[in-house]
Amino acid sequence: MSKLLIRGGTIVTMTGPARAPLTTDLAVEDGLIKALFPVGDALPRWQPDETIDATGLLVLPGFSNTHSHAAMTILRGMADDFPLKEWLEAKIWPAETRLSREDVYWGALLGLAEMIRSGITSLADMYFYAEEVARAVEEAGVRALLARGLFSRAWEASLNEGLDLHQRWQGRGNGRISVALAPHAPYTCSPPHLKEVRQLAGQLGVPIHIHLAETRREVEESRKNHGLTPVEFLERLGLFEVPVLAAHCVHLSPSDVELIARRQVQVSHNPVSNAKLGSGIAPLPALLHSGARVALGTDGAASSNRLDMFGTMRQAGFLQKAANEDPTFPDAYQLLRLATQGGSQLFPGSGQITPGANADLILIDPDRPHLTPSWDVYSSLVYSTQPQDVRTVIIGGRTVMKDWELLTIDEAAVIREVRKRAAGLASHEVQAPLRDR
């Protein structure tokens, strides 16, 4: 029975419509928010084991990063400025064949350190050697929906590892860890394999995590090969009969948008990765207006370079404002909702500050030049805040970063280890000068 009191913070609850935050005390018990009550009052017969003074700090729900490959931090900056197909086939997949289990473990720990510093308290991740990612997640103390990426070219092996991950890790870490099945994409998994995944997901009661409609080329090839868009193709195979987390969803027809909304597909919008790889701009206004579930994701550090939810919120907003020549949509509060509540279907009980919710909380220090003055808290949080302003992070009632110090990860050791391992990988890579690419 661990009891934590967060005293005197300015609470941004993210419940209901945008409203001015209130300064209150916040009681946490057994990983859940117990009560919000006037500053300095006491709860009857309730004594905290630990008190955090949040006077002058903003307290808000932690962010959900709904599409990541945490271990890819080890490939950060290895192959910039390529289109997706070339980036994957000529750069990333060959580099990944050289990654060891230990590389994945250390890369994942580095990714989790970076995410915690950016206020991310839960992530949906897909990768190989996923049990190493799970090991890192358990140690770091974050909440996660993990999966082994599945490919038809190595179906038996990848599927067995994916099912093994489910058997060994589902519900571990006091229930913080859950496991999905993750066919990589409609173009890397055959129709019989996709149907098999749908059946297994239904039997196990787990969601499917998949890349979907990421590039124009993917849509063109799907139309050529199947006479259907990638979204229609998955509908035809029955995938949407189970819960699906679909990353990217950049190139959608109006009927794709309608189908995604009707089938309650959870969209993970990855604006930084999509922009950097030149994939395009997802139709966020159409998705939101249709009532689709939309959350934000960073994708891996090899394609977005930083696992930064503040940068992701800004990019999501600015791309739409520029592309549609409409500065009004989405507004700061809508963007903050995508980052907090957008993923609450994947992480039930996270994304808002209300009694009974998960105590996944971040404390932000607004005592900074770039956060001064603050006319509107949502404007400050979305348009001006950066990861370095996140001071303390609590996940499931446990403090994982206190006053900028990571408590569950030996950050210096992780940085040292990843540098060493990346240098080992780089010695195999023939680096072409930029002009020859």
The binding site for Zn ion (CB under 5 A) comprises: 299
DSSP secondary structure code for residue 88 in this structure: I
Smallest distance from Zn ion to CB 123, Å: 12
CA distance 230 to 234: 6
306 vs 402, beta carbon nearer Zn ion = 306
CA distance 149 to 266: 18
Residue 106's CB is within 10 A of a number of other CB atoms, namely 26
Q: 3-class DSSP state for residue 61?
A: strand
Backbone angles phi, psi at 349, to 5 degrees: 90, -5
Question: Residue 354 contacts by C-beta under 8 Å, 6 or more apart in sequence?
Answer: 13, 15, 33
Smallest distance from Zn ion to CB 268, Å: 9
Q: Rg (Cα) of the chain, in Å, rounded?
A: 21
Smallest distance from Zn ion to CB 223, Å: 22
Smallest distance from Zn ion to CB 125, Å: 10
Strands 398-402 and 390-395: antiparallel
296 vs 390, beta carbon nearer Zn ion = 296
Cis peptide before 373 (omega within 30 of 0): yes
What does the block give as tokens for 427? 């010695």
299 vs 365, beta carbon nearer Zn ion = 299
Query: What are the residues facing 6 on neighbouring strands?
Result: 26, 52
Smallest distance from Zn ion to CB 45, Å: 49
114 vs 299, beta carbon nearer Zn ion = 299
218 vs 299, beta carbon nearer Zn ion = 299
Secondary-structure breakdown of the chain: helix, strand, coil percentages, each rounded to the nearest 5: 40, 20, 35
63 vs 333, beta carbon nearer Zn ion = 63
91 vs 321, beta carbon nearer Zn ion = 91
Beta-sheet strands, E only, within 226-300: 244-248, 266-269, 293-296
Smallest distance from Zn ion to CB 190, Å: 20
Smallest distance from Zn ion to CB 247, Å: 5
Smallest distance from Zn ion to CB 246, Å: 11
Smallest distance from Zn ion to CB 72, Å: 9
Closest CA to 106 of 76, 62, 147: 76
CA distance 146 to 125: 5
Closest CA to 310 of 380, 392, 262: 380
297 vs 396, beta carbon nearer Zn ion = 297
Closest CA to 311 of 299, 302, 326: 299
25 vs 299, beta carbon nearer Zn ion = 299
Query: What are the residues facing 11 on neighbouring strands?
Result: 22, 59
| Residue closest to Zn ion, measured at CB | 299
